[in-house]
Structure 1
Amino acid sequence: MTVMSSKNPSFNHHRRPFRDYILCLDLDGTLVDTAPDLVRVTNETIALEGLPETNFKTARREVGYGSKRLIASSMERFGHSVSDERLTELQQWFLNRYAESLSDHSRPFPGVVQTLKDLKRSGATLTVCTNKPGYLARPLLETLHLTSYFANIVGGDEAPKAKPDRRHLLQAAGPNRLGKKIVMIGDSFPDIRAGHNAKVPTILMRYGYNPINAHRLRPTIALDNFRDIPKVLTRL
């Protein structure tokens, strides 16, 4: 009788089918539903200009484009605008306030935690490629007990240029990416375009913050449920 050992290559390949994959995951709108806190702080920010609360559903679709756009768009809906200098001041106030309370209402999307566990157990290298500043992304992930799943976390301020620039994605994939199957997983234009620019497959999570029709973004695959990621990886 042959006893299969964990040192047997075929055994490892069977038990760790994704060991050749590097999955670069967006944060806001893909891993974590951060919109409740981001829109809350946006409302606190535009209140400094004497404005009422913005429409949550509309603001939610703009989360993936950064805090400055989120603030500016929310003010524009009330016919209000400010100078570039004032907008920068408001953005800094937003970032300071958000850093104080970034996980009050933010939670991982359904299926995220278990799927990350399954993917890592199956050999996949998981990284975070987010346009959120790194000094905000790391404590958020730590507070939600997600940090341990990721080999690398790269914020938008830590790359030569943020997504959709391909260098951000490649930095997140890490120095040992050669010969690996890199996949970009996100919910909006910067994520999918970064994948296109890096010439790697992309998975669009349709439950996220994307204001653009999924068909127009041209992802390799579009999904409604994070739990389905392991099922489709081998099709990429």
Structure 2
Amino acid sequence: MDLATPSFSASEGLILTATLVVFDLDGTMIDTAPDLIESLNHTIAARDLEPVSFDDLTHLVGQGARVMIRRAFDLRGYPLSDQEVDPLFDRFIDHYKAHMPGQSRPFAGLEASLDRLERDGCRVAVCTNKAEQLAVPLLRKLGLADRMAVITGGDTFAFRKPDGRHLLETIRLAGGDPAKSILVGDSVNDIQAAHNASVASLGVTFGYSDVPIADLNPTRIISHFDELTVELVQETLAAGNRAKFPVTA
């Protein structure tokens, strides 16, 4: 079953009553930093560039591997032409897939939080700017893919986060209702996508954002997945609805 393609949805055209929790992937569900850094350094070594570090990563990730490679070269003062990107992208993909899942692991408390949400009737999905060919097998190898109603990547549609349509289409394919959905994310692309889609958001403090998550104005914030309960999800939805439809005197 291909969870990543727009054609997949067990409930295509049907709006379910269940609350939907949509997760970003890198820096939110999964700590992929060690493997992103390793594959990126393998890629830029083809041009003898100085390796990047985790401190650099927060400025590089968020728009997929092609943009990450471009940003790494820009960081080192070597802008790439369009023709130079493709072979470097292929080098990155080959290395990343060959070593998957590597050191990538779910953030502490994630799987227990999924258990709680599912037990209390919530459904879960993934909306990531990571390419499908990387996101889906990574989640499969970590034993999480089958728990997702749908997985959409940065190349699933002709648009990606922070475009709100990426989130709205993910919700649609999962059989959800935007008014009963929240996005959990760690970066400006996530929170801005939620704002653009008029969907409530839950920011995490432990991700890869290069600015404090509070500065991005998510609806609510957590610092550990132990805090992610159905009660918090409902509170986040209620707060999001109050922000969209304020009560006036």
Contact (CA 8 Å) 1:160, 1:167: kept in 2 or not?
Answer: no
Contact (CA 8 Å) 1:29, 1:64: kept in 2 or not?
Answer: no
Tell me the CA shift for residue 61 of structure 1: 4.5
Match of 1:43 in 2: 41
Structure 2: give runs of 5+ residues left out of the alignment. 1-16, 237-249
Query: Which has the larger displacement, 69-78 or 224-233?
Result: 69-78
Mapping of residues 121-200 of structure 1, within 5 Å = 121-175=119-173, 176-178=175-177, 181-200=180-199
Query: Which has the larger displacement, 88-97 or 135-144?
Result: 88-97
Contact (CA 8 Å) 2:171, 2:178: kept in 1 or not?
Answer: no
Distance in 1, matches of 2:130 and 2:178, equals 28
Distance in 2, matches of 1:179 and 1:26, equals 16
Query: Which has the larger displacement, 68-77 or 123-132?
Result: 68-77
Identical pairs, percent: 35
Match of 2:30 in 1: 32
Say how many residue pairs are matched: 218
Distance in 2, matches of 1:20 and 1:88, equals 41
Distance in 2, matches of 1:112 and 1:215, equals 21
Tell me the CA shift for residue 218 of structure 1: 1.1
What is the aligned-residue RMSD (CA, Å)? 1.8
Structure 1: give runs of 5+ residues left out of the alignment. 1-18
Distance in 1, matches of 2:114 and 2:104, equals 18
Larger Rg: 1
Contact (CA 8 Å) 1:206, 1:223: kept in 2 or not?
Answer: yes
Tell me the CA shift for residue 41 of structure 1: 0.5
Name the SS of the counterpart of 2:228 in structure 1: helix
Contact (CA 8 Å) 1:23, 1:173: kept in 2 or not?
Answer: no
Name the SS of the counterpart of 2:133 in structure 1: helix
Q: TM-score, normalised by structure 2?
A: 0.81
Runs ≥4 residues deviating over 4 A: none
Letter in 1 for 2:139: L
Match of 1:232 in 2: 232
